[in-house]
Amino acid sequence: MQKYYSSEKNVQILVSLLKQNGIRKIIASPGTTNLAFLGSVQSDSFFQVFSSVDERSAAYMACGMAQESGEAVVLSCTGATASRNYMPGMTEAFYNKLPVLAVTSSQINARLYNLNDQKTDRTDVPRDAALCSFSMQVVKDDDDFFDCEIKTNRAIHSLKRNMPAHIELQTIYSPDFSVKELPYVRNIGLWKSFNVLPELPVGKIAIVLGAHRKFSEAETKALDSFCEKHNAAVFRDHSNSSYNGKYLVVASIMFGQFLADRKNMNADLIIRIGEISGDCYGLGGNAEKMWRVCEDGQIRDPQRRLTDVFEMREEDFFNYYADKNTFKNSYFDECKTHSEKLLAKIPELPFSNLWIAKNTYKKIPCGSTVYLAILNTLRSWSFFPFEYGIETFSNVGGFGIDGGVSSLIGASLVNSEKLYFCITGDLAFFYDMNVLGNHHVGKNLRVLLINNGVGTEFKNFNHPCARFEEAADNYMAARGHFGNKSLNLVRHYAEDLGFEYLCAKNKDEYFLSLEKFISAEISDKPVFFEVFTDSENESDALKTVLSLEESTEGKAKNVVKSMIGEKGVRTLKKVLGK
């Protein structure tokens, strides 16, 4: 009976990516645990398979073969102690910078440390035996498939850097070798500055900016030149404002319209630069291609659409493509116009973080720095474009609620002649309030506390906890802590620490105190402004801003999503081939 590929998906992913990258040389050692992999490659004429009974010899053979051929070489062994014998040869590959991939087949991890025979722990591989090490689990769903796809690409990228890598390939010993065609598996390209780089796709281009060091003048000039040639748009939220060039579009309000059909605003190519962001709405949409430009060359794929990684300086990348494949489209202009129209459509909102943002963002003095607490505050203020010359930051690296006020104070100590603002919710503030007692706190500090007595994020209409209604208050949303919206607790604390204290419980009171809070002059004291809102108004305001436009198709998609969830939507798209 003719044998084809194993039915085990993780094996199919590995075999597919080996073929797509032209990796054909395999040195196999005998065993049962690696039968799914060996049974697949030996029946495919693409591969050149060699046999070695001794795994120690096999690893050194791979070193010699890689050195002589200039090609990557794959090792395959069974379970038990077989993989231990690869160690000397893999150490040689590491120090000699040889592209050797050790694929050590294994039983599932549930059998580890449970007195099952021939199951050994490969969690910790010596740092000088492989540049990276991954465990590829048995694939049970789309998340597992994505995980194995990314891990295999990362291992292959190590080989492209002429360094060894390790994959633990788990198996269920399937006897099924009837799969005639391998599934589609993304082969994520790796490009370096000395390569001939791929052509820029024709179409709409979005640059999505994550957390980023401050742009130099040369970097801004390169990015602006690229955008000018291709009418590309730069999207970011307020987790950082390192780019403030001519082609910035604060587009969260556009991509967040959950009742609208957004496909006309989707980019054809998304270029991601920087690190994590607070983007809640998939800026740039569902592009066919997604590139990441970064000097570390690492695969990072939050939207599961990454196609290529460019391991180079951003300035070099944008200067290179600014002179290539020049074409014009109207994407930047369309996005900017659309976002501005939506901003103009926002009606009068309930008294909330969003209302405060809408009525304050244009009044923050030019040259100030604004720190935003994560989630509700960062999202609310990211709908609105601050005036040019205002820097914004948020602790999105670890993305926890702790440390926002402390980060602000650390920044404020750098320049005592500059104003530093912090906008935070009550849970985030009380988590970090002790830093206000630091004796270095200066007069250039302004803190805006939106106190609704609860983790209002968990009460918003579109949050999973909202379905629990009042039952979410005690534990999920932590209502009632820290004085339960006491009118005196924060007042006394702030005043005793030398702050000027302001307070507002409604819109009129807010406007009465706002001018003092946003004054461009540094006053005799740091200023603390506490504003009391409630979670129902916060949720209503968010729903209003996200429902400014709607379409029949957009409303239908939202109904389907509410019924089957995000994972169900992905499955349905896969079934329909979309």
pLDDT band at 568 (very low <50, low <70, confident <90, very high): low
Measuring CA to CA, which residue among 386, 426, 432 is closest to residue 410?
Answer: 432
Q: Residue 104: CB partners within 8 Å, gap ≥ 6?
A: 77, 79, 82, 83, 86, 122, 166, 167, 168, 169
What confidence score (pLDDT) does residue 81 get? 83
User: In degrees to the nearest 10, what's the CA dihedral of 305, 311, 315, 316?
Assistant: -120
Q: Are residues 137 and 253 in the same domain?
A: no
Is pLDDT of 122 > 70? yes
CA distances from 507 to 356, 451, 473 (A): 9, 14, 26
Q: What is the pTM of this model?
A: 0.89
**Residue 541 identity (one-letter amino acid):** A
Name 5's bridge partners: 179
Q: What percent of the chain has pLDDT over 70?
A: 94
Q: Does 190 reside within a domain?
A: no
Q: Does 42 reside within a domain?
A: yes
What is the number of alpha carbons within 13 Å of residue 209 lying toward its C-beta? 27
What confidence score (pLDDT) does residue 330 get? 87
Q: Are residues 458 and 523 in the same domain?
A: yes
User: In degrees to the nearest 10, what's the CA dihedral of 48, 54, 58, 60?
Assistant: -160
CATH of the domain at 402: 3.40.50.970
DSSP string, 224-274: HHHHHHHT-EEE--TTB-----TTEE--HHHHT-TTS--GGG--SEEEEES
Name 134's bridge partners: 167
**Residue 140 identity (one-letter amino acid):** K
Q: Are residues 385 and 482 in the same domain?
A: yes
Q: Are residues 160 and 284 in the same domain?
A: no
What confidence score (pLDDT) does residue 566 get? 57
Continuous H helices in 359-437 = 376-381, 404-412, 426-432
Number of domains comprising the chain: 4
Residue 557 DSSP label: H
What average pLDDT does the structure give for the chain? 90
What confidence score (pLDDT) does residue 573 get? 53
Q: Does 191 reside within a domain?
A: no
The residue segments making up the domain with residue 561 are: 548-576
**Per-residue model confidence as pLDDT tens digits over 369-401:** 999 998 889 999 999 998 888 989 988 888 788
Q: Are residues 327 and 367 in the same domain?
A: no
Between CA 505 and CA 378 the distance in angstroms is 21
**Per-residue model confidence as pLDDT tens digits over 33-45:** 999 999 999 999 9
Between CA 149 and CA 9 the distance in angstroms is 10
Q: Are residues 364 and 482 in the same domain?
A: yes
Least confident of 106-110, 130-134, 339-343, 402-406: 106-110
Measuring CA to CA, which residue among 26, 24, 158 is closest to residue 97?
Answer: 158
Strand residues in 351-461 grouped as ranges (E) = 369-372, 391-393, 420-425, 445-451
Structure tokens at 219: 């970097």
Are 218 and 315 a contacting pair, CB within 8 Å?
yes
Among residues 336, 366, 384, the one where a domain terminates is 336
**Per-residue model confidence as pLDDT tens digits over 522-531:** 989 999 999 9
Are 5 and 43 a contacting pair, CB within 8 Å?
yes
Q: Are residues 481 and 367 in the same domain?
A: yes
Q: What angle do CA 474, 478, 480 make, to 5 degrees?
A: 85
What confidence score (pLDDT) does residue 326 get? 67
Is pLDDT of 576 > 50? no
What confidence score (pLDDT) does residue 475 get? 83
**Per-residue model confidence as pLDDT tens digits over 132-180:** 999 999 999 999 999 999 999 999 999 999 999 999 999 999 999 999 9
Among residues 336, 355, 376, the one where a domain terminates is 336
Q: Does 198 reside within a domain?
A: no
Residue 352 DSSP label: S
Structure tokens at 33: 């645990």
Q: Are residues 534 and 552 in the same domain?
A: no
Least confident of 412-416, 423-427, 550-554: 550-554
Average pLDDT over residues 270-299: 91
Q: Does 188 reside within a domain?
A: no
Is pLDDT of 445 > 90? yes
Work out whether the CA dihedral 323, 324, 329, 333 comes out positive or negative. negative
Report the SS3 class of residue 221. helix
**Residue 540 identity (one-letter amino acid):** D
- Helix, strand, coil percentages, rounded to 5, for the chain: 40, 15, 45
What confidence score (pLDDT) does residue 574 get? 54
pLDDT band at 327 (very low <50, low <70, confident <90, very high): low
Measuring CA to CA, which residue among 272, 209, 215, 212 is closest to residue 397?
Answer: 212
Q: Does 186 reside within a domain?
A: no
Q: Are residues 140 and 18 in the same domain?
A: yes
Measuring CA to CA, which residue among 26, 181, 184 is closest to residue 103?
Answer: 26
Q: Are residues 57 and 129 in the same domain?
A: yes
Q: Which residue has the tokens 């204290």?
A: 501
What confidence score (pLDDT) does residue 555 get? 64
Structure tokens at 59: 């690893």
Between CA 371 and CA 422 the distance in angstroms is 5
Among residues 318, 336, 354, the one where a domain terminates is 336
The H-or-E segment that residue 104 falls in is strand 100-106
Is pLDDT of 355 > 60? yes
Residue 365 DSSP label: P
Average pLDDT over residues 255-262: 89
pLDDT band at 113 (very low <50, low <70, confident <90, very high): confident
Q: Are residues 516 and 556 in the same domain?
A: no
Rg of the Cα atoms in the chain: 28
Q: How many CB atoms lie within 10 A of CB 220?
A: 18
Is pLDDT of 444 > 90? yes
Between CA 66 and CA 71 the distance in angstroms is 5
**Per-residue model confidence as pLDDT tens digits over 219-250:** 999 999 999 999 899 998 888 777 888 899 98
String of b and e for 256-284 (b: at least 16 CB within 10 Å)? bbbbbbbeebbbbbbbbbbbbbbbbbbbb
Average pLDDT over residues 344-359: 96
The H-or-E segment that residue 536 falls in is helix 535-545
Q: Does 187 reside within a domain?
A: no
Q: Are residues 394 and 498 in the same domain?
A: yes
